[in-house]
Amino acid sequence: MIVCFDIGGTAIKGAGAWAVDDVRPVARRQTPIHDFDAFIGVLKDVIDEIGETPTCVALSIAGIIDPDTDRAVIANIPCAHGRLLRADLEAALGLPVLIANDADCCALAEYGVGAGRGHRVVFGAILGTGVGGGLVVDGKLINSAGGFAGEWGHGPVAATRAGNPPVELPRFACGCGLDGCVDAIGSARGMEKLHRHLAGSELKAEEILDAWQTGDVDAARTIDVYIDILSAPLALVVNMTGATIVPVGGGLSNSLPLIAALDRAVKARVLRKFQRPLVVRAECAIEPGLVGAAVLGAAFASPEA
């Protein structure tokens, strides 16, 4: 049995996993973001509630482990930020601890029980409050030691001329400190920023998508430019990794027409010609962080698998 956690700045979700398709959540707890002893206490409470000694503890976190220092980079949980988190947790819990980024865990979940089943190379993309991703090859994360692999949303590569007919675009500032990142224009807030730039009106991403589906000309223009901007770097990721499926999670994946449009655009730009959907909505919509952590823990518990 593996104890899994999905840890964010607001809540800690816990579960016992007896198999990757047998994950049993317990009640979520509030995240003690400023008190590391209290943070440890919550983890211990969950382990005690499950009531069985686990093989290991596997965590999905909204952050990364720096592969050069082993220190956690978790901006929204100050008490864990900058720590040798794996070592600290193992010392406190007396159990092996595995840690992966939340986007990586979503990719693992899709590989294990979602749209990535049967595929050797799975690139899980996130389109939501941010643009992220994770790469799984033969059931293993490329980011097995932590790090930034899969972060296709960052880097100054977003097009400054896009759409049909093309329109000139500024290099929007990104929260990572760079200008011109895909994240700055491909996230939900980025879509809203793009619509404001193109149409001069304030709409939420959900409203833009709804208007697009009802034939609104301004919304259609925004989505045309948006898809053009996203599809090029995502096609490059597919070409470089050899991914044969790209499950998409995050809030924007709830729009099936958006995912279908992105699929058509990406397939038109990749070298391998797919006669089936390539970019698809993630299937593991319920607790993908916990399921991904379960897959991570299962690989540790059965390394020969």
- Report d(CA 168, CA 287) in Å as an integer: 40
Nearest to 125 by CA among 148, 149, 106, 144: 106
CA-CA distance, 50 to 53, in Å (whole number)? 9
- The strand pairing partners of 30, in sequence order, are 11
The pLDDT of residue 33 is 93
Helix (H, G, I), strand (E, B) or coil at 144: coil
Cα angle at 168 between 162 and 169, to 5 degrees? 85
User: DSSP character for 251?
Assistant: G
266 closest CA partner among 249, 283, 248, 285? 248
Task: Using alpha carbons, select from 287, 300, 304, 288 the residue that is nearest to residue 2.
Answer: 300
**How high is the pLDDT of residue 63?**
87
Radius of gyration of the chain (CA): 20
Quickly list H helices, the chain. 36-50, 85-93, 102-113, 183-186, 188-199, 205-213, 217-241, 256-267, 288-301
Output the pTM of the full model: 0.90
Tokens of 10: 């607001």
**pLDDT digit string (tens) for the chain, length 305 residues:** 999 999 998 899 999 999 988 999 999 999 999 999 999 999 999 999 999 899 999 999 988 899 899 999 988 899 999 999 999 999 999 999 999 998 999 999 999 999 999 999 999 999 998 899 999 999 899 887 777 888 999 999 999 999 999 999 999 998 888 999 999 999 999 999 999 999 999 999 999 999 999 999 999 999 999 999 999 999 999 999 999 999 999 999 999 999 999 999 999 999 999 999 999 999 987 789 999 999 999 888 776 55
Count CB neighbours of 157 within 10 A. 15
Structural domains of the chain in order of their starting residue, each with its CATH number = 2-101+286-301 (3.30.420.40), 115-281 (3.30.420.40)
Three-class SS state of 99 = strand
The tokens for 297 are 């823990």
- Distance between CA atoms of residues 265 and 232, nearest Å: 8
* Upper half-sphere CA count for residue 50 (Cβ side, 13 Å): 26
